[in-house]
Structures are given as structure tokens and as C-alpha cells.
């Protein structure tokens, strides 16, 4: 039980893939103009990370050590492409908006990183949970950045207008540069909170 | 080759084969749905430039069948429809080249083929944040109601997209700064389509 708790604590907070390990930042910057896109992207990463970790863990005893990266890539690509096909079949508009970023989950370091660091050593059940935990860590950052950018940059939330077009406070945040600023501030804030927590312990 | 290497290769080949079969199966199961979705999105774009705004997905095929007429001219075609206000609108498919890949879309004009009604980009692979901005309402809206020909020369298409800069003059629309090549591609595409549309203006049915 405590092991499961530790997995989630690590994945979401202590070793959060984005603000602690600074992995998967490329897509985190690209899809955070709208909260809706961020949610779908997060779901994709959680599902792919969990399934990949599970599969790699099941196969970990027969995967040849020197070919393991290739095999991990094959497994990751399979799940990502299947998710992409399902998105195109049932959520066509969403798939158009996310564009190439769903396919780019293949190169998302979070997923390869977790299967290397965790799934090759631990059992399938724990690996599956570790994938979910890392995915949730990614989700936390994605949703925070997307909320700030959508509200301040486009004056809406989940597509609903909150602020009239004339009064949008920081239109620049919806541009690529705005993503770097929000992400930078967020990493700074999160790490400060974490460090101050460490001192007390 | 030693024995360990042979086993490693075998395992890799088996895993790769299983994954490939899984992919092929998923693709086969869902292919029809995806093709239908693409066709529906294409029709929705076409209806938008023809003046049918906010059409429900379930109504698209009905409107396409009952209100939109496809007219062949030369080796190409255009679509003709009467909009809600009773005006006849013509929509011409556009094909062009951008910086990274093909650009497709529709441009619609009034019955005289002298004023642009609307424009939409249905396919582009331009740089996100720069060239890809051609696929946005703010880019489309610049074209609405613009005159295609100068009053003193009604045979040469005059409207153009300013390459990567703000427009100057009555017959230019704003380009996108940082996306000069994309703007040139869109400009050529629009002008070619409109020129051809005028050349075949005698073809009515």
C-alpha cells in the first residue's frame, strides 16, 4: 500500500516529470492554448504511459537487454497510433486541433523514461500504476498552464467566453512565447513550494 | 552469430509482428468511419463558404444533396448554391503549394464572379503559429466582400495577399509576418483559381 502511495506521490509531486525532470515539455508548450485540448492530450499520455509500462513490464524477462530501446519504441508507437486512429474515428474535430502532437507522444520522454526507469524492474501492476501517476503529473502541469493561457490569453474557459474580446488581459499568452513564460513561472513556483517543504522536513 | 543474438532477434521480430497486426486490425476496423468523417468535414467547409453557417452534422448530407449543385467546367468543377438571403453563390475548390506541403481550400464569389464572398482553408501543413494562421477566422474575414478586379481593368485578377507584411492599397489583404513563402503560395492559389473561374464564366451548367 505504501509503495502505491509512493508511486503516486513521486509521479505527481516529488518527481513530477515536467517540473522536476523537465520531460515532455515540447508538447506541454504546444497544446496548452485551450483547456479542452490539454485534457485530451493528458488522457492520451496517461493511457499510453500506463499501457506501455504494463506491456514492457510483462515482457521484461524476455526483452533482450541490448535491443530493449527498439522494442520499447515499437510498443509505444503501437499504442500511440491506435489512440490517434480512435481519435480520428470518434473525435475528428479534436484530432484536427491537436494535429501532429498526438503522434509526437511517441517521442515524449516521459513514456520512454518511465518504461526504462520503472517498468523494466517492477511488476506489471505497479508499472501500470506508475504510468498513470506519471501521466497525472503531466496532466497537473498541462491543465495549470492551459487554464492560465486560455483565460488570460483568449478570455474563455473550455471554449466558453468569460471576458469580452476587447478586454482580454494578455493576448500574447496564447502565442508560443506565452507558453514559455507561463511554464517558466510555474516551474519556479512549484519548485519553490517543494524546496520550502523539504526544509521543514 | 551466437545463440543469444538469434534469440534476441526472434523476440524482437515476434513483438514487432504482433504490434503491426494490432495496428493493421484497428486501422481496418475504423477506416470507413475516418473516411466518412473526412468527407463530412470537407462538405462542412464547402457549405460554410456557400453561406450555410453552423450546420448540424446530421443535416450536412441533406443540404449537399438538395441545395448544392456541382457544375463541371473544363477539367475542373465548381459548386453553386442559393444562400439564405436568396443570393446565388459560387464556390471554387483551390489547390496550391505552401512552404511545407500542399494547401487546399474553397473560395466563393457572387454570381458575377467579381466579388469574394468567403474563403476557407481545408488542408495545410504550414508552420504552427506562423503560416498555419492562414487557417483562421481572422485571415478568412479579410477576404469577405472584397473586389476581385480593378474597375479600369476587368479582365486581370487584382486582389492579392501581401507577402509577409501588412496590406497596402485597396486590392491587397494583410499577409502574415514571418510566413512570406506561405503567403506567396496562398496568393498564387487564390489568383489562379479566380483567373480560371473568370475564363470559364460562360459555362453555366
Distance, in Å, from the CA atom of A71 to the CA atom of A158, rounded to the nearest integer, reads 38
Whether A11 is in a domain gets the answer no
Whether A2 is in a domain gets the answer no
Whether A1 is in a domain gets the answer no
Q: Which strands make up the sheet holding B116-123, listed edge to edge?
A: B68-73, B76-82, B88-97, B102-110, B116-123
**How many domains, chain B?**
1
Distance, in Å, from the CA atom of B116 to the CA atom of B110, rounded to the nearest integer, reads 7
DSSP state of B46: H
Whether B61 is in a domain gets the answer no
Are β-strands B149-150 and B153-157 bridged in parallel, bridged antiparallel, or unpaired? antiparallel
Phi-psi region of B113 (alpha: psi -120 to 50; beta: other; left: phi over 0): left
Average of per-residue pLDDT across A69-84: 95
Q: Do B37 and A88 touch (CB under 8 A)?
A: yes
For residue A162, the enclosing domain spans 17-200
Are β-strands B76-82 and B68-73 bridged in parallel, bridged antiparallel, or unpaired? antiparallel
pLDDT band at A61 (very low <50, low <70, confident <90, very high): very high
Whether A163 is in a domain gets the answer yes
Q: Do B23 and A176 touch (CB under 8 A)?
A: no
Whether A5 is in a domain gets the answer no
**How many domains, chain A?**
1
| Min Cα separation A173/chain B (Å) | 12
Q: What is the pLDDT of residue A117?
A: 92
Q: Contact at 8 Å (CB) between B126 and B164?
A: no
Distance, in Å, from the CA atom of B161 to the CA atom of B175, rounded to the nearest integer, reads 6
Q: Do B30 and A88 touch (CB under 8 A)?
A: yes
Residues of chain B with pLDDT under 70: 1-3, 203-205
* B34 reaches A (C-beta below 8 A): yes
Whether B129 is in a domain gets the answer yes
**Mutation target vs A (from B14, B19, B38, B130; most A CBs, 10 A cutoff):** B19
Whether B24 is in a domain gets the answer no
Q: pLDDT digit string (tens) for B46-80?
A: 999 999 888 888 889 889 988 899 988 878 889 99
Distance, in Å, from the CA atom of A135 to the CA atom of A48, rounded to the nearest integer, reads 9
Whether B36 is in a domain gets the answer no
Whether A51 is in a domain gets the answer yes
Q: Do A70 and B12 touch (CB under 8 A)?
A: yes
Which 3 state secondary structure label does DSSP give B179? coil
Are β-strands B160-161 and B172-173 bridged in parallel, bridged antiparallel, or unpaired? parallel
Q: What is the pLDDT of residue A201?
A: 45
Whether A146 is in a domain gets the answer yes
**Largest interatomic CA distance in chain A:** 61
Residue numbers in B near A59 (CB within 8 A) = 15
What length does chain A have?
201
Q: pLDDT digit string (tens) for A130-188?
A: 999 999 999 999 999 999 999 998 888 888 888 887 788 888 888 878 889 999 999 89
**Mutation target vs B (from A32, A56, A60, A64; most B CBs, 10 A cutoff):** A64
The overall average pLDDT reported for chain A is 89
What length does chain B have?
205
Whether A169 is in a domain gets the answer yes
Q: Do B26 and A82 touch (CB under 8 A)?
A: yes
* B41 reaches A (C-beta below 8 A): yes
* B28 reaches A (C-beta below 8 A): no
Residue numbers in A near B27 (CB within 8 A) = 85
Whether B19 is in a domain gets the answer no
CA angle A59, A60, A64 (to 5 degrees): 100
Q: Do A89 and B128 touch (CB under 8 A)?
A: no
Residue numbers in B near A74 (CB within 8 A) = 15-16, 19
Q: Provide the sign of the torsion angle of the four alpha carbons B4, B5, B9, B15, taken in this order.
A: positive
Which 3 state secondary structure label does DSSP give B55? coil
Q: Contact at 8 Å (CB) between A56 and A72?
A: yes
Whether B136 is in a domain gets the answer yes
Ranking A33-37, A79-83, A172-176, B155-159 by mean pLDDT, the lowest is: A172-176
Distance, in Å, from the CA atom of A101 to the CA atom of A121, rounded to the nearest integer, reads 29
Average of per-residue pLDDT across A60-76: 92
Tell me how many residue pairs between chain A and chain B have CB atoms under 8 A apart. 57
Whether B110 is in a domain gets the answer yes
Most confident range, picked from A12-21, A95-104, B181-190 = B181-190
| Min Cα separation B169/chain A (Å) | 27
Distance, in Å, from the CA atom of B172 to the CA atom of B194, rounded to the nearest integer, reads 15
Amino acid at each position: 500500500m505504501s509503495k502505491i502511495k509512493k508511486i503516486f506521490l513521486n509521479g505527481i509531486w516529488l518527481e513530477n516529470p515536467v517540473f522536476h525532470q523537465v520531460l515532455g515539455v515540447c508538447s506541454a508548450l504546444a497544446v496548452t492554448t485551450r483547456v479542452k485540448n490539454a485534457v485530451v492530450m493528458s488522457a492520451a499520455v496517461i493511457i499510453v504511459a500506463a499501457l506501455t509500462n504494463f506491456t514492457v513490464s510483462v515482457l521484461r524477462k524476455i526483452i533482450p537487454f541490448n535491443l530493449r530501446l527498439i522494442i520499447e519504441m515499437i510498443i509505444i508507437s503501437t499504442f500511440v497510433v491506435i489512440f490517434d486512429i480512435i481519435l480520428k474515428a470518434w473525435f475528428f474535430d479534436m484530432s484536427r486541433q491537436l494535429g501532429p502532437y498526438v503522434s509526437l507522444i511517441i517521442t515524449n520522454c516521459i513514456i520512454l523514461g518511465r518504461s526504462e526507469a520503472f517498468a523494466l524492474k517492477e511488476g506489471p501492476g505497479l508499472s501500470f500504476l506508475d504510468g498513470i501517476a506519471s501521466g497525472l503529473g503531466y496532466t497537473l502541469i498541462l491543465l495549470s498552464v492551459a487554464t492560465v493561457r486560455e483565460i488570460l490569453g483568449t478570455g474563455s474557459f473550455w471554449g466558453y467566453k468569460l471576458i469580452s474580446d476587447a478586454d482580454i488581459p494578455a493576448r500574447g499568452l496564447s502565442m508560443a512565447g506565452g507558453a514559455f513564460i507561463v511554464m517558466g513561472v510555474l516551474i519556479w513556483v512549484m519548485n519553490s513550494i517543494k524546496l520550502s517543504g523539504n526544509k521543514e522536513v | 552469430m551466437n545463440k543469444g543474438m538469434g534469440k534476441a532477434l526472434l523476440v524482437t521480430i515476434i513483438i514487432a509482428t504482433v504490434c503491426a497486426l494490432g495496428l493493421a486490425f484497428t486501422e481496418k476496423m475504423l477506416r470507413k468511419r475516418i473516411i466518412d468523417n473526412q468527407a463530412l468535414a470537407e462538405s462542412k467547409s464547402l457549405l460554410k463558404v456557400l453561406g450555410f453557417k453552423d450546420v448540424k452534422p446530421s443535416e450536412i448530407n441533406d443540404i449537399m444533396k438538395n441545395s448544392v449543385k456541382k457544375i463541371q467546367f473544363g477539367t475542373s468543377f465548381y459548386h453553386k448554391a442559393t444562400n439564405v438571403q436568396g443570393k446565388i453563390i459560387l464556390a471554387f475548390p483551390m489547390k496550391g503549394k505552401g512552404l511545407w506541403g500542399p494547401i487546399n481550400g474553397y473560395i466563393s464569389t457572387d454570381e458575377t464572379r467579381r466579388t469574394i464572398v468567403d474563403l476557407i482553408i481545408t488542408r495545410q501543413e504550414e508552420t504552427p503559429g506562423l503560416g498555419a494562421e492562414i487557417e483562421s477566422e481572422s485571415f478568412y474575414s479579410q477576404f469577405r466582400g472584397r473586389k476581385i478586379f480593378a474597375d479600369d481593368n476587368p479582365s486581370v485578377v487584382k486582389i492579392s495577399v501581401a507577402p509577409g507584411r501588412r496590406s497596402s492599397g485597396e486590392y491587397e489583404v494583410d499577409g502574415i509576418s514571418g510566413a512570406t513563402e506561405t503567403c506567396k503560395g496562398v496568393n498564387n492559389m487564390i489568383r489562379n483559381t479566380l483567373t480560371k473561374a473568370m475564363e470559364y464564366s460562360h459555362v453555366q451548367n
